[in-house]
């Protein structure tokens, strides 16, 4: 993946995370947004060495949604924010 393609993918992923964070704030889980994240990781992001830590964060985000519990939404919001901050750092690093 070229640096330009990677930045484009990261921007798209950030927008998805912003939408997902909004859903968590409203106490909803949008399965389609989670599926979009999974597809992006499987279709290229997981193969990028720079993205390894971000992929781990996204996996933790995904795991928070597997078991219903009271702190699910708060944890989801935290992981969305953490992932978005990582994306900002990666975009600055990549270009």
Q: Which residue has the tokens 């993946």?
A: 1
What domain range includes position 36? 3-94
- For residue 83 the two structure tokens come to 């992932």
List, for residues 2-11, the tens digit of each pLDDT value. Answer: 889 999 999 9
Q: Give the count of domains, the chain.
A: 1
Instruction: Please enumerate in sequence order all residues whose Cβ is within 8 A of that of 48, keeping only pairs 6 or more positions apart, or say none.
Output: 1, 6
Measured distance CA(42)–CA(74) in Å, rounded? 26
Q: What is the pTM of this model?
A: 0.92
Give residue-wise pLDDT tens across range 35-59: 999 999 888 888 888 888 899 999 9
């Amino acid at each position: 993946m070229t640096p330009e393609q990677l930045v484009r993918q990261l921007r798209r992923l950030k927008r998805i995370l912003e939408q997902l964070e909004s859903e968590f704030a409203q106490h909803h889980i949008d399965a389609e947004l989670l599926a979009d994240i999974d597809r992006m990781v499987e279709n290229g992001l997981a193969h990028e060495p720079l993205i390894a830590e971000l992929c781990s964060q996204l996996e933790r985000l995904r795991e928070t949604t597997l078991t219903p519990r009271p702190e699910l939404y708060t944890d989801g919001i935290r992981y969305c924010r953490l992932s978005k901050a990582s994306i900002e750092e990666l975009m600055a690093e990549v270009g």
